[in-house]
Structure 1
Amino acid sequence: MILTDYHSVYFAHELTKRCASDSMEKLAGALVDAQVDLNPHQVEAALFAFRSPLSRGAMLADEVGLGKTIEAGLVLSQKWAERKRRLLVIAPANLRKQWHQELTEKFFLPCKILEAKSFNEAIRKGVSQPFQTSPETVVICSYQFARSKASQISSILWDLVVIDEAHRLRNVYKSSNVIANVLKTSLIRSPKLLLTATPLQNSLLELFGLVSFIDEHAFGDLNSFREQFANLREEDVFQALKARLSPICHRTLRRQVLEYVPYTKRHAIVEEFTPAEDEDRLYAEVSAYLQRENLQALPSSQRSLMTLVLRKLLASSTFAIAGALDTLITRLKQKVGQKPESGSIEDDLDAEYEALDATAEEWGDDSADESPVSENDRIALEQEILDLEAFRNLALSISHNAKGKALLTALEKAFSEANRLGAAKKAIIFTESRKTQEYLLRLLDDSPYSEEIVLFNGSNNDERSKVIYSEWFRRYADTDRVTGSRTADMRSALVDYFRDEGSIMIATEAGAEGINLQFCSLVVNYDLPWNPQRIEQRIGRCHRYGQKHDVVVVNFLNRNNEADRRVFELLDQKFKLFEGVFGASDEVLGAIESGVDFEKRIARIYQDCRTPGEIRESFARLQNELTVQINEAITTTRRQLLEHFDEEVHAKLKVSKSTSEGFQNRYEKMLMRLTQHELAGHAAFAESEDSFDLTTNLFTDLEIPTGRYELPRRSGDGHLYRLGHPLALRLVQKATERSLPPAEIVFDWGGTLPKVGALEPYRGSTGELLVSKLSVESMDQAEDHLLFAALTSEGRMLPVDVASKFFSLSALDVRTINAFQPDPRLVAEIERQQTDEQKRIAERNGRLFEEETSKLDSWAEDLKVGLERDIKDLDRQLKEARRAASLALTLEEKLAGQRQVKKLESERNDKRRKLFTAQDEIEQRRDTLIKSVESKLEQKVTVIQILSLRWRVT
Structure 2
Amino acid sequence: MNLTAYHAKFLAYDLTIRKPANDINKFTASLQDAQVDLNPHQVDAALFAFKSPLSNGAILADEVGLGKTIEAGIILSQNWAEKKQRLLIIAPSNLRKQWNQELMDKFFLPSVILEAKSFNQMIKDGVANPFNQENKIVICSYHFARNKEFYLKKVTWDLVIIDEAHRLRNVYKASNKIGNAIKNALSERKKVLLTATPLQNSILELYGLVSIIDDYVFGDLKSFKSQFSRLADKENFDTLRERLQPVCQRTLRRQVKEYINYTNRYAIVEEFFPSENEQKLYDLVSDYLQRDVLFALPVGQRQLITLILRKLLASSSYAISGTLSALANRLEDKISEHIFEERVESDYELFDEIKDEWTAEADEDNFPDNTAVELSDEAVAQIKDEINDLKSFRDLADNIPFNTKAEKLFTALNKGFEKLSELGANKKALIFTESKRTQEYLFNLLSEPGKGYEGEVILFNGTNNDKNSNNIYRNWLEKHKGTDRITGSPTADKRAALVDYFRDEATIMIATEAAAEGINLQFCSLVVNYDLPWNPQRIEQRIGRCHRYGQLYDVVVVNFLNKANAADKRVYELLDKKFKLFDGVFGASDEVLGSIGSGIDFEKRIAKIYNDCRDPASIEQAFDELQDELKDDITERIEDTKKRLLENIDEEVREKLRIDYEKTKGYLNIFERNLWEVTKYYLNGHASFSNENYAFTLNKNPFPAENIHPGPYMVLKPKEGQKKSEVYVPDDTNIYRVGHPLAQRLLIACKNSITVAKELVFEYPKNQTVSTPLENFIGKQGWMQLSLITISAFDEEDYIVIANTTDDGEVIESGLSARFFSLTATEGEECNLPYHTKNHFKEIFINEQENLVEKNTKRNREFFDVEIEKLDQWADDMKIGLQKEIEDFDAEIKLRKAEAKKMLNLEEKVKAQRQIKDLEKKRGDKRRILYEAQDEIDEKKETLLSDVEKRLQQKVGTKELFTIKWKLI
* Normalised-by-shorter TM-score class: over 0.9
1:859 correspondence with 2:874: yes
Which residue of structure 2 lines up, in the alignment, with residue 360 of structure 1?
355
Which residue of structure 2 lines up, in the alignment, with residue 37 of structure 1?
37
- Decide which moves more: 941-950 or 518-527: 941-950
Counterpart of 2:131 in structure 1: which amino acid? F
Counterpart of 2:827 in structure 1: which amino acid? D
Counterpart of 2:342 in structure 1: which amino acid? D
Which residue of structure 2 lines up, in the alignment, with residue 167 of structure 1?
166
| Helix, strand or coil at the partner of 2:217 | coil
Tell me the alpha carbon deviations over residues 783-802 of structure 1, each in whole angstroms, 9 at most, x when there is no partner. 11111222222222223321
8 Å contact kept, 1:428–1:524? yes
- Decide which moves more: 691-700 or 446-455: 446-455
Tell me the alpha carbon deviations over residues 395-443 of structure 1, each in whole angstroms, 9 at most, x when there is no partner. 1111211211222111111211221222222111111110111111122
8 Å contact kept, 1:774–1:785? yes
Which residue of structure 2 lines up, in the alignment, with residue 847 of structure 1?
862
- 1:750 CA drift (Å): 1.9
In the alignment, the residues of structure 1 paired with residue 611 and residue 948 of structure 2 have an alpha-carbon distance, to the nearest angstrom, of 57
8 Å contact kept, 1:751–1:810? no
Tell me the alpha carbon deviations over residues 570-621 of structure 1, each in whole angstroms, 9 at most, x when there is no partner. 1111111111101011111111122122212221222222222222222222
Tell me the alpha carbon deviations over residues 417-475 of structure 1, each in whole angstroms, 9 at most, x when there is no partner. 22122222211111111011111112222421223212111122222222322333333
Which residue of structure 2 lines up, in the alignment, with residue 626 of structure 1?
630
Q: Choose from 811, 821, 828 the match for 2:825.
A: 811
Which residue of structure 2 lines up, in the alignment, with residue 453 of structure 1?
457
Which residue of structure 1 lines up, in the alignment, with residue 801 of structure 2?
787
Residue pairs, 1:605-616, within 5 angstroms: 605-616=609-620
Which residue of structure 2 lines up, in the alignment, with residue 428 of structure 1?
430
- 1:820 CA drift (Å): 4.4
- 1:827 CA drift (Å): 3.0
In the alignment, the residues of structure 2 paired with residue 615 and residue 886 of structure 1 have an alpha-carbon distance, to the nearest angstrom, of 62
8 Å contact kept, 2:483–2:709? no
| Helix, strand or coil at the partner of 2:118 | helix
Which residue of structure 1 lines up, in the alignment, with residue 95 of structure 2?
95
- 1:13 CA drift (Å): 1.2
Which residue of structure 1 lines up, in the alignment, with residue 884 of structure 2?
869
Which residue of structure 2 lines up, in the alignment, with residue 284 of structure 1?
283
In the alignment, the residues of structure 1 paired with residue 703 and residue 608 of structure 2 have an alpha-carbon distance, to the nearest angstrom, of 63
In the alignment, the residues of structure 2 paired with residue 297 and residue 953 of structure 1 have an alpha-carbon distance, to the nearest angstrom, of 90
Residue pairs, 1:549-588, within 5 angstroms: 549-588=553-592
Q: What's the TM-score, normalizing by structure 1?
A: 0.96
Counterpart of 1:83 in structure 2: which amino acid? K
Task: Summarize the Cα distance change of 1:756–1:95 in structure 2 as closer, same or farther, 3 Å threshold.
Answer: farther
Residue pairs, 1:470-869, within 5 angstroms: 470-688=474-692, 690-712=694-716, 713=724, 714-717=727-730, 718-750=733-765, 757-779=772-794, 781-818=795-832, 820-821=834-835, 822-869=837-884
Task: Summarize the Cα distance change of 1:802–1:333 in structure 2 as closer, same or farther, 3 Å threshold.
Answer: same
- 1:372 CA drift (Å): 9.2
Which residue of structure 1 lines up, in the alignment, with residue 720 of structure 2?
none
In the alignment, the residues of structure 2 paired with residue 511 and residue 918 of structure 1 have an alpha-carbon distance, to the nearest angstrom, of 53
8 Å contact kept, 2:447–2:456? no
| Helix, strand or coil at the partner of 1:653 | helix
Tell me the alpha carbon deviations over residues 140-192 of structure 1, each in whole angstroms, 9 at most, x when there is no partner. 11111111211111110101111111111111111111111111111112111
Which residue of structure 2 lines up, in the alignment, with residue 907 of structure 1?
922
Which residue of structure 1 lines up, in the alignment, with residue 46 of structure 2?
46
Which residue of structure 2 lines up, in the alignment, with residue 71 of structure 1?
71
In the alignment, the residues of structure 2 paired with residue 691 and residue 756 of structure 1 have an alpha-carbon distance, to the nearest angstrom, of 31
- Decide which moves more: 455-464 or 242-251: 455-464
In the alignment, the residues of structure 2 paired with residue 892 and residue 617 of structure 1 have an alpha-carbon distance, to the nearest angstrom, of 58
In the alignment, the residues of structure 2 paired with residue 48 and residue 854 of structure 1 have an alpha-carbon distance, to the nearest angstrom, of 19
In the alignment, the residues of structure 2 paired with residue 549 and residue 754 of structure 1 have an alpha-carbon distance, to the nearest angstrom, of 42
8 Å contact kept, 2:871–2:937? no
Tell me the alpha carbon deviations over residues 238-258 of structure 1, each in whole angstroms, 9 at most, x when there is no partner. 111111111111111111110
In the alignment, the residues of structure 2 paired with residue 609 and residue 696 of structure 1 have an alpha-carbon distance, to the nearest angstrom, of 73
In the alignment, the residues of structure 2 paired with residue 163 and residue 653 of structure 1 have an alpha-carbon distance, to the nearest angstrom, of 25
Residue pairs, 1:111-190, within 5 angstroms: 111-134=111-134, 136-190=135-189
Which residue of structure 2 lines up, in the alignment, with residue 228 of structure 1?
227
Task: Summarize the Cα distance change of 1:539–1:689 in structure 2 as closer, same or farther, 3 Å threshold.
Answer: closer
- 1:640 CA drift (Å): 1.0
8 Å contact kept, 2:758–2:827? no
In the alignment, the residues of structure 1 paired with residue 223 and residue 707 of structure 2 have an alpha-carbon distance, to the nearest angstrom, of 60
In the alignment, the residues of structure 1 paired with residue 754 and residue 238 of structure 2 have an alpha-carbon distance, to the nearest angstrom, of 56
8 Å contact kept, 2:802–2:813? no
In the alignment, the residues of structure 1 paired with residue 581 and residue 634 of structure 2 have an alpha-carbon distance, to the nearest angstrom, of 15
| Helix, strand or coil at the partner of 1:946 | strand
- 1:901 CA drift (Å): 3.0
| Helix, strand or coil at the partner of 1:706 | coil
In the alignment, the residues of structure 2 paired with residue 720 and residue 675 of structure 1 have an alpha-carbon distance, to the nearest angstrom, of 14
- Decide which moves more: 753-762 or 157-166: 753-762
- 1:237 CA drift (Å): 0.6
- 1:373 CA drift (Å): 6.5
RMSD over aligned CA atoms reads: 2.1
8 Å contact kept, 1:143–1:179? yes
- 1:559 CA drift (Å): 0.9
What percent of counterpart residues are identical? 52
Which residue of structure 1 lines up, in the alignment, with residue 16 of structure 2?
16
Tell me the alpha carbon deviations over residues 33-79 of structure 1, each in whole angstroms, 9 at most, x when there is no partner. 00121311111111111111011111111111111111111111111
Q: What's the TM-score, normalizing by structure 2?
A: 0.95
Counterpart of 2:324 in structure 1: which amino acid? L
| Helix, strand or coil at the partner of 1:542 | coil
In the alignment, the residues of structure 2 paired with residue 887 and residue 379 of structure 1 have an alpha-carbon distance, to the nearest angstrom, of 77
Task: Summarize the Cα distance change of 1:12–1:369 in structure 2 as closer, same or farther, 3 Å threshold.
Answer: farther
Which residue of structure 1 lines up, in the alignment, with residue 719 of structure 2?
none
Which residue of structure 2 lines up, in the alignment, with residue 195 of structure 1?
194
- 1:369 CA drift (Å): 10
1:349 correspondence with 2:344: yes
Q: Choose from 391, 398, 401 the match for 1:399.
A: 401
In the alignment, the residues of structure 2 paired with residue 770 and residue 35 of structure 1 have an alpha-carbon distance, to the nearest angstrom, of 37
Tell me the alpha carbon deviations over residues 536-576 of structure 1, each in whole angstroms, 9 at most, x when there is no partner. 11111111111111111111111111111111111111111
- Decide which moves more: 889-898 or 92-101: 889-898
- Decide which moves more: 29-38 or 619-628: 619-628
Count residues in correspondence: 948
Counterpart of 2:19 in structure 1: which amino acid? C
8 Å contact kept, 1:8–1:735? yes
In the alignment, the residues of structure 1 paired with residue 932 and residue 89 of structure 2 have an alpha-carbon distance, to the nearest angstrom, of 42
Counterpart of 1:353 in structure 2: which amino acid? Y
8 Å contact kept, 1:268–1:554? yes
- 1:334 CA drift (Å): 2.4
| Helix, strand or coil at the partner of 2:301 | helix
Task: Summarize the Cα distance change of 1:378–1:12 in structure 2 as closer, same or farther, 3 Å threshold.
Answer: same
Tell me the alpha carbon deviations over residues 88-124 of structure 1, each in whole angstroms, 9 at most, x when there is no partner. 1111111111101100111111111111111122222
Tell me the alpha carbon deviations over residues 208-252 of structure 1, each in whole angstroms, 9 at most, x when there is no partner. 111101111111111111111111111111111111111111111
- 1:830 CA drift (Å): 2.5
| Helix, strand or coil at the partner of 1:84 | coil
In the alignment, the residues of structure 2 paired with residue 910 and residue 169 of structure 1 have an alpha-carbon distance, to the nearest angstrom, of 33
In the alignment, the residues of structure 2 paired with residue 5 and residue 164 of structure 1 have an alpha-carbon distance, to the nearest angstrom, of 46
- Decide which moves more: 608-617 or 55-64: 608-617
In the alignment, the residues of structure 1 paired with residue 374 and residue 680 of structure 2 have an alpha-carbon distance, to the nearest angstrom, of 76
- Decide which moves more: 307-316 or 371-380: 371-380
Residue pairs, 1:238-277, within 5 angstroms: 238-277=237-276
8 Å contact kept, 2:293–2:370? no
- 1:891 CA drift (Å): 5.2
8 Å contact kept, 1:885–1:898? yes
